[in-house]
Amino acid sequence: MTIEKINKQVKEEPLTKEECKTQFIEKTEELGIKHSFDFEEAWEIGQELRKRKEFRENIMTLENQIINIEGALVGKELHDLNPVKHSFADGCYIREIFNPAGLLLVTKIHKKKHPFFLMEGKMSILTEEGIKHIEAPHHGITYPGTKRIIYTHTNCVFITVHATDNTNIQEIEEEVIAKNFQDPEITLEDINILKENGINLEIQNGEYINKNK
């Protein structure tokens, strides 16, 4: 069976958890396979990665739909409506953006972990965990692989802080923004998130190894 056929089967006719468990046991015995993690861990890893993959595919699709809506703002018009202030401190780049009320925004893909601060306003954010409603003053952490869809209920002032000694705005953007979700820093963060959920993985000789075992 080719990879294309396997991918099609997984997408169109996925096995249930019990069917996967039966297959896992049978193939382990048949082929004499040794595993680095048990079935429950493998299932949890697969479900978490699948959920993240589906969300990222959906948010990219939604972004394309929003961009193609008549009257949607892009490029200079969008930047003019959402002015940005740039400032620097020792080893820090501070980016402050104003977003007017009633705006639906799609952010770029972040590839660096950094803090954010909502200094003014109310907004709703679509995330992998669902819709979050936040109101100033509010702060949080942005993780690599984050791409948000935001709706501003009021005028908002949003600040992010990035660790860098660079002062060239274009070069900083290349440092902190990923072109796609396949960026190595994002895939590494996916592994780190699984570790935080109790699945302690590391890569050895190109394989995922569960260090809890």
Domain that holds residue 92: 75-178
- The confidence band for 208, taking pLDDT boundaries of 50, 70 and 90, is very low
Between residues 175 and 210, the one the model is more confident about: 175
In the three-class reduction of DSSP (H, G, I as helix; E, B as strand; rest coil), residue 151 is classed as strand
Residue 1 belongs to a domain: no
Same domain, 82 and 167: yes
pLDDT in tens, 121-148: 999 999 888 899 999 999 999 999 999 9
CATH number of domain containing 113: 2.60.120.10
* Predicted confidence (pLDDT) at residue 172 exceeds the cutoff of 90: yes
For the chain, give the mean pLDDT.
Answer: 84
Specify the amino acid at residue 29: E
Same domain, 168 and 86: yes
pTM given for the model = 0.71
The token duo for 25 is: 């046991």
Q: Count structural domains, the chain.
A: 2
* Number of neighbours of residue 21 by Cβ within 10 angstroms: 15
